[in-house]
Amino acid sequence: MQLLKKVFVGAVTFLGIALAPFTATAGDLQQQLTSESVIETITKRGKMKVGMSTFVPWAMRDKQGELIGFEIDVAKKVAADLGVEIEFVPTAWSGIIPALIAGNFDVIIGGMSVTPKRNMTINFTAPYAHSGMGIVANKKLAGDLAWPDGYNSSTVTFTCRRGATSCTDTQKLFPKAKLRQFDDSSLVLQEVVNGNAHAVLTSFPKPTLWQAQNADVLFNPTLEKLTEGNEGFGIRKGDPDAMNVFSNWIMVNTSNGWLKERWTYWFTTMDWADQVNLKK
């Protein structure tokens, strides 16, 4: 019995020694990941740097040149809840993911839809918003087209902003139509207004807003959502701490109704319109 006890104790001791390096390695890895987390960087710096691009009403300049919009409200509240200051880093949409990876800012909070292709390069938090695509069209060019089949034709031209989800949505919904892509978001609308393209898909509330601004030229073939997406914060890969902190922030502010209240204000009302210059 004594011999069996010695053998058992020896085996346990050996197993403990054998597993010790693995336990230490796992602990070191966790500590390394935590210490390298962007959350740790933000805390030490005392400031959160947010990559974004301007889209009405996600993020835009008011008449005094200050940034306002749904994304601006969200980012400011995240920073406030983390107890840090905030710095916005306006970035061209086509280069915003490379800029995140390069470390130009800490997180993308910019209405970015979660897609498998983007997810191959960066990670996304839980969704905090659910956008919807609508359509606005030129009366002269598209007024007689049947909805929606008449728009799926090689004789119809759509516009979109290069790199935006609306480009892939247009190709998916209207595969036979031509698609012209622009880096300048203002040209996306202007080409339709000028009669150089039939229609454009864009996220709400812009279909209604653009039609109201150009009522003599544009119309909405339908006010129904053509698609519904999920937007998440974009973060660099290999950062479980940031994923946890940001996703839990989203969970809390979804549950308490704050995100819904802000979404309702910016996307279902025009109460903010007098703060900005909404000319064509």
> How is domain 132-228 classified at the architecture level of CATH?
3-Layer(aba) Sandwich (3.40)
* b (16+ CB within 10 A) / e for 228-257: ebebbbbbbeebebbbebbbebbeebeeee
Q: Tell me the pLDDT band of 77, cut-offs 50, 70 and 90.
A: very high
pLDDT band at 15 (very low <50, low <70, confident <90, very high): very low
Report the CATH fold assignment for 38-130+229-275: D-Maltodextrin-Binding Protein; domain 2 (3.40.190)
Q: Tens digit of pLDDT for each residue in 46-65?
A: 999 999 999 888 999 999 99
- In this model, does residue 271 exceed pLDDT 90? no
Residue ranges per structural domain of the chain? 38-130+229-275, 132-228
Over 90: is that where the pLDDT of 172 sits?
Answer: yes
Same fold, 38-130+229-275 and 132-228: yes
Strand ranges inside 129-171, DSSP E: 132-138, 157-161
pLDDT in tens, 17-45: 444 454 445 445 445 544 579 999 999 99
Distance CA 165, CA 184 (A): 15
Determine which of 25-39, 95-109, 233-247 has the lowest per-residue pLDDT on average: 25-39
Q: What is the pLDDT of residues 200-209, one digit of tens each?
A: 999 887 887 8
For the residues of 66-120, what is the DSSP string, one character each?
-EESHHHHHHHHHHHHHT-EEEEEE--GGGHHHHHHTTSSSEE-S-PBP-HHHHT
- Residue-level length of the chain: 280
Predicted confidence at residue 21, as pLDDT, reads 54
Report the mean per-residue pLDDT for the chain.
Answer: 88
